[in-house]
């Protein structure tokens, strides 16, 4: 290896996704979830990428933004409501300064820090985001700073979809990204990394050239992209040996005692005043957050991660006789929303890896660098518990699976048309069906994370679909049109959606 030859390539892949939350509740689950992630993850991530771009960095990372999230970050109602939320955040920080006036100095400092953070977020939003996320993201894509991944419209678990609906959801999602960004993505982050044998043919037909799977789907051999079956579509596998240094089911950096505790609230202010302190320490016994301790932990963990990547790449080179590839893939919301120090850690890592002799690039860049292995036949898989489908079709969600299958059959039996003009009623009927089939509802139920909200959302959209479908079958066009107009005010996502392109048995 020459002095200038990289030890290998590293791809950071971020998956940005939240289900459709606009107009569907506020606290504790609903729009609040969207605005917290927006403030603490999406704003800092865009700022970091913009600063790296200004310093001449290109091919920094690969980022997936699901169509349903992009629609919310561009939505005029959500933009206004988020601006209000940021102002309320600043007011809460002002109240905290009064509430904690005689408290621990760390709490007083935290109130001031929160006020400054809110002020920065307001300035960032007003300077760059007033017209939505798409202009922000488009400049990063056009400038070659990031590679953009697409995906199906409402983030459904694709293996459980009937073939016509699976194809429709993917086409709709890719078209939505092309409309917003001006580029049709060559790669996708398949929702939940869900895969069923044969889906590579779906991807090829839709023009998708690469996608993500979890490491176990490749039996841990993730050192290169792999063509799938006899297709030209390739898959990249998450390197769990590296990925789990940050976030794993049992351990990872964000759980360190010095980091800010996500789950402990000061309810009068709505702020999070504590550090983790210890995994088994009750909320009332947790110590106040200390930024100096957290900053020291960020430096240690960034160094550890860089050493881990370098060591992994050296091991791959020794095993395969050529520079290897590490793909570390995470939810974008981990950085800032779930892990307060995540953006600072990420910036440190992205600056330190090149200095350590690692080529930092995108999935596209990895292929251009020659990281392509032999073909593989993929098994049914996901990135969920057990790496199979149990999170989305297990016993806990059997009722959701049954309801979803019946909904699909009913949808595909409707007379979806083929007339000269779009039908707003059928468009809204399909829209509600897609929202009911979001993978998030089953995930939240299986993981017992706001399960009641998830079940309610699945039922609301399923009921709305059934109501419109019943009116269509009965020929009550005027009533159906009025009801579709009402529902579109809440669930008007994907205004370009055209039910005529969903080929069902009723055509």
Catalytic residues: 192, 331
Helix residue ranges, H only, 101-187:
105-124, 133-142, 163-181
Q: Centre a 10 Å sphere on the Cβ of residue 54 and count the other Cβ atoms it contains.
A: 10
Phi and psi torsions of 117, nearest 5° = -65, -40
Q: How far apart are CA 191 and CA 203, in angstroms?
A: 13
Q: Tokens standing for 331?
A: 């939810």
Q: How far, in Å, are 137, 159, 228, 438 from residue 208 at the CA level?
A: 20, 17, 12, 21
Helix, strand, coil % in the chain, rounded to nearest 5: 55, 10, 35
The rounded distance, in Å, linking the Cα atoms of 221 and 285 is: 44
- Helices (H) and strands (E) counted in the chain, each on its own, are 18, 9
Residues 170, 338, 42, 451, CA torsion sign: positive
Nearest to 180 by CA among 499, 495, 502: 495
Cα separation, 322 vs 397, whole angstroms? 45
Asked if 415 and 472 count as a contact pair (C-beta separation under 8 A), the reply is yes
- Cis geometry, peptide bond prior to residue 28 (ω within 30 degrees of 0): yes
Distance of CA 417 to the CA centre of its chain: 34
d(CA 276, CA 499): 49
Measured CA to CA, the distance from residue 170 to residue 182 in angstroms comes to: 17
- How crowded is residue 10: how many other Cβ atoms within 10 Å of its Cβ? 29
What tokens appear for 150 in the block? Answer: 């697409």
What is the C-alpha to C-alpha distance for residues 44 and 328, in angstroms, rounded to an integer? 20
Handedness of CA 101, 103, 104, 106 (dihedral sign): negative
Round to whole Å and give the CA distance between 32 and 111.
Answer: 20
Burial pattern 336-371, b for ≥16 Cβ within 10 A else e, equals bbbbbbbbbbbbbbbebbeebbbbbbbbbbbbeeeb
Maximum distance among all Cα pairs of the chain, rounded to whole angstroms: 74
Alpha-carbon gap, residue 378 to 202, rounded angstroms: 14
Nearest CA to 19 out of 496, 493, 501 is that of 493
Scanning 289-438, the segments in alpha helix (DSSP H) are 291-320, 342-355, 363-368, 390-393, 398-412, 424-436
Alpha-helical regions (H) of 125-162: 133-142
């Amino acid at each position: 290896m020459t002095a200038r030859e990289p030890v290998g390539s590293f791809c950071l892949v971020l998956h940005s996704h939240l289900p459709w939350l606009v107009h569907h509740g506020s606290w504790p689950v609903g729009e609040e979830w969207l605005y917290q992630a927006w403030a603490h993850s999406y704003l800092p991530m865009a700022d970091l990428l913009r600063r790296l771009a200004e310093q001449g960095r290109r091919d920094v990372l690969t980022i997936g933004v699901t169509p349903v999230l992009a629609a919310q970050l561009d939505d005029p109602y959500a933009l206004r409501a988020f601006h209000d939320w940021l102002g309320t955040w600043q007011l809460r920080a002002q109240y905290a300064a009064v509430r904690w006036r005689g408290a621990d100095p760390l709490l007083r400092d935290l109130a001031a820090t929160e006020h400054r953070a809110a002020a920065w977020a307001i300035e960032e939003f007003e300077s760059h985001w007033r017209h939505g996320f798409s202009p922000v993201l488009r400049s990063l894509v056009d400038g070659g700073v990031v590679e953009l991944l697409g995906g199906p419209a409402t983030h459904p678990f694709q293996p459980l979809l009937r073939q016509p609906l699976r194809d429709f959801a993917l086409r709709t999602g890719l078209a939505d990204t092309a409309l917003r960004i001006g580029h049709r993505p060559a790669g996708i982050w398949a929702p939940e990394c869900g895969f069923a044998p044969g889906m590579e043919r779906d991807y090829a037909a839709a023009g998708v050239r690469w996608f993500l799977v979890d490491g176990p789907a490749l039996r841990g051999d993730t050192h290169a992209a792999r063509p799938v079956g006899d297709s030209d579509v390739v898959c990249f596998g998450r390197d769990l040996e590296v990925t789990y240094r940050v976030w794993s089911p049992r351990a990872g950096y964000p759980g360190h005692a010095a980091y800010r505790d996500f789950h402990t609230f000061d309810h009068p202010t709505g702020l999070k005043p504590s550090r983790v302190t210890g995994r088994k320490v009750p909320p009332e016994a947790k110590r106040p957050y200390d930024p100096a301790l957290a900053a020291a932990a960020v430096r240690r963990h960034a160094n550890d991660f860089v050493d881990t990547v370098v060591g992994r790449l050296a091991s791959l080179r020794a095993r395969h006789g050529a520079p290897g590839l590490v793909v570390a893939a995470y939810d974008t919301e981990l950085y800032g929303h779930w892990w307060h120090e995540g953006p600072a850690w990420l910036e440190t890592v992205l600056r330190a890896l090149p200095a350590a002799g690692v080529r930092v690039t995108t999935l596209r860049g990895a292929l251009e660098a020659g990281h392509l292995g032999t073909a593989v036949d993929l098994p049914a898989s996901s990135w969920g518990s057990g790496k199979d489908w149990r999170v989305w079709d297990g016993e806990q969600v059997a009722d959701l699976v049954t309801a979803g299958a019946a909904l699909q059959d009913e949808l595909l039996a409707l007379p979806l048309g083929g007339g000269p003009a779009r039908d707003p009623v059928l468009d809204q009927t399909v829209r509600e069906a897609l929202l009911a089939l979001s993978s998030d509802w089953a995930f939240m139920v299986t993981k017992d994370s706001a399960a009641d909200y998830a079940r309610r959302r699945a039922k609301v959209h399923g009921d709305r679909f059934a109501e419109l479908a019943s009116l269509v079958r009965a020929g009550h066009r005027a009533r159906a049109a009025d009801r579709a107009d009402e529902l579109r005010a809440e669930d008007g996502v994907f205004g370009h959606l055209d039910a005529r392109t969903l080929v069902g048995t009723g055509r």
